[in-house]
Amino acid sequence: MRTTSIAALLLAVPLTGCFDSGNAVAVTSSPTLVGVDPADFLGTLPCIDAPGAPRRYVVTLTAEAVPGEDASAPFTHPSSPPSDCNHQVTFGYVTPGRRYTAQVDVYDSADVTPLASGSPVMLSSRGQPVSPSWSTRCGDPQVAPGARPAISVGSRTVFVQPCGPLIDQRTETPPTGLQVSLEALQGGLVCAGEVPDEAAIARFRLSLTGDSRAAEATCGARTLALTELSPGVRHELTLHALGPEGDVRYHTECSGVTADKLILPASCAPLTAGGAGGTGGTGGTSGAAGAGGTGGTSGAAGAAGTGGTAGVGGTGGTAGAGGVAGTGGAAGAGGVGGAAGTGGAAGSAGAGGASGTGGTAGAGGTAG
């Protein structure tokens, strides 16, 4: 028994098939294998190339002692190499009928290499020890209520499950946020300074819709993240590509759902030329016309006020009506319509004043 276990063969290959829930799930296969499936321990954590997300995991399989057999002591197999968290890991040269549990160490970096073949100790590319970001055990009733070791079956593959919740062991955790791939969005657009181009981009600004929070990155950066966002919420973002003078040359809308202590990718529409349209203000209100004098030879009626100037996208104000002349007086002229703002409608001209007895009617107002 012991000699067979020492000659354990590690396989880190993707498997296919249908799996049922339970402690030992059998999948038809010619070799006798015991494995661990990331779907059984990752939970809601996404296995993606993003800051703070799981990237690699290492499994250490243990053959548990057989109750009532003193000679059958627990035996720990050599650990698996770091494996992509989208792939299952299986161990060969296991003993049919033997019970197995598994220790799982998960890393939020792909830059991990074992100290030696079969070692659970991981090093970075610089030779520095790397601690697991999360860890758990599978098939262990002490960490997963109701769990029990998986029993190996000849010429079958069984998976050690269920697994306990992942325990976060990170001393420093990334903030909660969303990031966009500037590299993918920029496409063939050039950065300012590379070549003379009126459409060249100097920097990008990512802002939270309806909020003042924003982040910037120079043209040429691969990604841009907006952090300190509430977890578990869908956020709407706006990305602006700015020229050297800060003018908006391109823009797009992005969105994504955040997860606690992760910076996840947001989905964005392609960049389009120009900035996003704003909403104009309301045009000002014109002043009231003065009233003409009464009796005798009246003075001229008061002039109507000028319509207010509209804000961006607003409607020009309506000019006041010309004053009503007294007896024999000349009616006041109609006011000037308000000037339209950018994208706004011109204001209405004021009405000509009404003539008094024997007086002359005022002229019609001028449209804005």
> May I ask the CATH architecture of the domain 177-273?
Sandwich (2.60)
Residue 235: how many other CB atoms lie within 10 Å: 19
Burial letters 100-124, b for 16+ CB under 10 A, else e: bbbbbbbbbbeebebeeeeebebbe
What confidence score (pLDDT) does residue 177 get? Answer: 95
Mean pLDDT score, 89-97: 95
281 vs 56, residue with greater confidence = 56
pLDDT at 179 over 70: yes
What confidence score (pLDDT) does residue 30 get? Answer: 78
pLDDT one-digit tens code per residue, 224-263: 999 999 999 999 999 999 999 899 999 999 999 999 899 9
The radius of gyration of the chain from alpha carbons, rounded to an integer in Å, stands at 37
pLDDT bracket for residue 195 (50, 70, 90): low
CB 38 within 8 Å of CB 86: yes
pLDDT one-digit tens code per residue, 23-72: 455 554 479 999 999 999 999 899 998 889 999 999 999 999 877 665 56
Both tokens assigned to 145: 């209520």
Both tokens assigned to 62: 């243990």
Comparing 34-43, 132-141, 196-205, 282-291, the range with the smallest average pLDDT is: 282-291
What confidence score (pLDDT) does residue 174 get? Answer: 83
What confidence score (pLDDT) does residue 214 get? Answer: 96
How far is residue 314's CA from residue 282's CA, in Å, rounded to a whole number?
A: 5
pLDDT bracket for residue 11 (50, 70, 90): very low
Amino acid 58 reads V
Mean pLDDT score, 85-106: 96
Mean pLDDT score, 270-282: 63
Comparing 30-44, 122-136, 188-202, the range with the smallest average pLDDT is: 188-202
Q: Give me the chain's average pLDDT, please.
A: 76
Residue with tokens 């299952």: 88
DSSP states of 173-239: -PPSEEEEEHHHHHTTPPBTTTS--TT-B-EEEEEETTSS-EEEEETT-SEEEEESPPTT-EEEEEE
| 54 upstream amide cis, omega within 30 of 0 | no
108: left (phi over 0), alpha (psi -120 to 50) or beta: alpha
Instruction: Quote the pTM value.
Output: 0.61
287 vs 65, residue with greater confidence = 65
pLDDT bracket for residue 192 (50, 70, 90): confident
CB 51 within 8 Å of CB 173: no
How far is residue 210's CA from residue 151's CA, in Å, rounded to a whole number?
A: 56
The torsion angle over the Cα atoms of residues 46, 47, 53 and 54, rounded to 10 degrees, is: 130
pLDDT one-digit tens code per residue, 300-325: 444 444 444 443 334 444 444 444 43
| Cα–Cα nearest to 168, from 62, 39, 42, 47 | 42
pLDDT at 80 over 60: yes
pLDDT at 14 over 70: no
What confidence score (pLDDT) does residue 146 get? Answer: 87
CB 1 within 8 Å of CB 9: no
pLDDT one-digit tens code per residue, 322-332: 444 343 444 44
How far is residue 165's CA from residue 277's CA, in Å, rounded to a whole number?
A: 47
Segment of 110-124, 180-194, 268-282, 292-306 carrying the highest mean pLDDT: 110-124
Q: Where are the domains of the chain?
A: 2-168, 177-273
91 vs 291, residue with greater confidence = 91
How far is residue 248's CA from residue 270's CA, in Å, rounded to a whole number?
A: 15
How far is residue 238's CA from residue 224's CA, in Å, rounded to a whole number?
A: 12
pLDDT at 1 over 80: no
Q: Is 277 helix (H, G, I), strand (E, B) or coil?
A: coil
How far is residue 335's CA from residue 307's CA, in Å, rounded to a whole number?
A: 7
